[in-house]
Amino acid sequence: MPDPRFFEDLGPVPLGELARLTGAELSGGAERLVSRVAVLAQAGPDSITFLNDRRYAAELARGRPGACFLPRDSADLAPEGCAVLTVANPQAAYAMAAARLHRPRIGGNQAVAADARLEEGVVLGAGAVIGPAAQIGRGTKIGANTVIGPGVAIGRDCEIAPNVTVGFALIGDRVKILAGARIGEPGFGATVGPNGLIDVPQLGRVIVQDGVTIGANTTIDRGAFDDTVIGENTKIDNLVQIAHNVRVGRNCVLAAHTGISGSVTIGDGAQFGGQAGVADHIVIGTGARVAGAAGVMKDIPAGETWGGVPARPLRNWFKETAWLARMAHRRGGQDK
């Protein structure tokens, strides 16, 4: 369920209303109520989920949700007791249902909300804003014009620089966030709705563990439903992009201009050179190294060093680069 510190629940809602909203065809149970949306792995009897691909039918059966959006040719995949809503684009229907059932909390009209909890020794710079029900631990410094959103929890002895925004996030102790960083913005998710592209609501959080450093103007998006997690003592340079649902391990290093696409998993101790890019749903093994400006499109095993575009083991990349240089030089000599 979306964290109630960050999202208001607007349900329960009858399935008949969701069917009308999404243009889905409902197979019975119009008055049946659902309270939340959920991905397949977290679905339950009070939730509505969606399935686009028959390969995940087993997950749908295990979750046993109360209702499910399904393509018209896959209605038979619904488990017993699950109400079926058939629709051309189940993900778009899910997005519309999510917007109806959940709403991000917004700040109040006070610089420091009356119910915010600040421990002893917290220092607030000029123009800092602390949202409703936010919590800030002892000895933490919040820079000028920084905005801490509703429900955010920040640990002790942290340093949050000026012009930072932190929302939908739980921050550990001794974390440093440099100027202009954006933590907890919605991840990039869109799908085709009835009248064009629509945003898919991002209902997850950002979890930043103890001792992490986040560079200036770096962006870490909150999860689409699961969390985006930055592991203990990881160091992130300036101008890095970390997309929704990414899991970064402990003691990792990401140099400037690195871009990590959605749902990537990075093992402990991994290292990324500047301008490295990683495609979505990739697994980077423990202790792996990615050379600067590499483009990673396949999983990297633990301990290996890869480079190039598309990235491959470093020795192979060097050999191929040297061979191409020799061939180009030889051809150039022949042309003369």
Specify which residues 295 forms β-bridges with.
Answer: 277
Q: Which of 54, 84, 103 is the last residue of a domain?
A: 103
Residues 6+ apart with CB under 8 A from 45: 64, 65, 66, 81
pLDDT reported for residue 332 = 62
| 209 within domain boundaries | yes
| 131 within domain boundaries | no
Specify which residues 141 forms β-bridges with.
Answer: 123, 159
Residue 281 appears among annotated catalytic residues: no
Q: Which of 57, 82, 103 is the last residue of a domain?
A: 103
Looking at the chain, the whole-number percentage of residues with pLDDT higher than 70 is 98
| 331 within domain boundaries | no
188, 89: one domain:
no
Q: Number of structural domains, the chain?
A: 2
Domain hosting 281: range is 168-315
pLDDT digits 0-9 by tens, 188-207 = 999 999 889 999 999 999 99
CB-facing half-sphere around the CA of 126: CA atoms within 13 A: 0
Helices and strands, number each (H, E), in the chain: 4, 40
202, 299: one domain:
yes
224, 299: one domain:
yes
| 263 within domain boundaries | yes
pLDDT reported for residue 56 = 85
pLDDT digits 0-9 by tens, 293-307 = 999 999 999 999 999
Q: Which of 94, 88, 151, 83 is nearest to 117 (CA)?
A: 151
| 90 within domain boundaries | yes
Q: Which of 258, 261, 324 is nearest to 289 (CA)?
A: 258
Looking at the chain, the whole-number percentage of residues with pLDDT higher than 90 is 84
- Collapsing DSSP states into helix, strand and coil, what is residue 158? coil
286, 174: one domain:
yes
Query: pTM of this prediction?
Result: 0.94
pLDDT tier, 268 (very low <50, low <70, confident <90, very high otherwise)? very high
297, 205: one domain:
yes
Residue 258 has pLDDT above 70, yes or no: yes
| 109 within domain boundaries | no
Mean pLDDT, residues 61-86 taken together: 91
Residue 225 has pLDDT above 90, yes or no: no
Q: Which of 80, 103, 126 is the last residue of a domain?
A: 103
82, 172: one domain:
no
Of 53 and 135, the structure prediction assigns the larger pLDDT to 135
> Which is the catalytic residue, given 102, 244, 257, 281?
244
Specify which residues 277 forms β-bridges with.
Answer: 259, 295
Domain with residue 62: its CATH number is 3.40.1390.10
Q: Which amino acid is at 31?
A: E
Domain with residue 305: its CATH number is 2.160.10.10
